[in-house]
Amino acid sequence: MKHTIEMMISEAEINKTLDQLAERINAHYANSERLLMVGLLKGSVVFMADLCRRIKGHVEIDFMAVSSYGNTMSSSRDVKVLKDVQSDIAGRDVLIVEDLIDSGNTLNKVREMLLLREPKSLALCTLIDKPERREVDVLVDFIGITIPDEFIVGYGIDYAEQYRNLPYIAKVVPLD
């Protein structure tokens, strides 16, 4: 698709959002002994790198990779685990870190999967929320920025694997 990109959320705005998110997360986990932040590859990598450096106390990081695809037998979507976390999450405070929540399918399935392992607590954090696109309800504990249904890239978020390295978030504008 021929397209151009337009800056939508600046580096300064992202930094301010991360400061506010970190303040809430630090307050929430003030009494936690070994917080485990779990990022979903690949989109969350940039956000995770910047967010975890703002979290105080004992923090560990781990990653999971999942792929979501349509299930032809039902209207729902299946999520396959391509790479699991290395940590044993039983009895741990776990915070899932996502760049973007769109239909909600990815976070919903990951949440269900991780809950079966009996963490002490499980919370979700996303930098960007697009509530208009939601197909399944997901309770997200920490939300950075809520945006309308725009096609965005940058700061970890890709379009056909491109643009993850942009330091800001941009809107993709189709050209004819």
Phi, psi of 138 (to 5 degrees): -135, 130
Position with the least CB separation from Mn ion: 43
Q: Which of 11, 13, 62, 68 binds ligand PRP (CB under 6 A)?
A: 68
105 binds, among Mn ion, ligand PRP, Mg ion, none (CB under 5 to 8 A by kind): ligand PRP
Distance between CA atoms of residues 49 and 62, nearest Å: 11
In 3D, which of 77, 90, 138 has the Cα closest to residue 112? 138
Q: Which of 100, 124, 125, 127 binds ligand PRP (CB under 6 A)?
A: 100
Chain residues in the site for Mg ion (CB under 5 A): 158
Distinct helix (H) and strand (E) counts, the chain = 3, 9
Phi, psi of 131 (to 5 degrees): -60, -30
Q: Decide: is 42 part of the binding site for ligand PRP (CB under 6 A).
A: yes
Per-residue tokens: 165: 């390295």
Question: What is the contact mask toward ligand PRP in residues 106 to 145, using x (rule: CB under 6 A)?
Answer: x---------------------------------------
Handedness of CA 94, 95, 99, 103 (dihedral sign): positive
Residues serving a catalytic function are 102
CB of 159 vs Mg ion, minimal distance in Å = 8
Question: What is the contact mask toward Mn ion in residues 35 to 74, using x (rule: CB under 5 A)?
Answer: --------x-------------------------------
Provide the 8-state DSSP code for 164: T
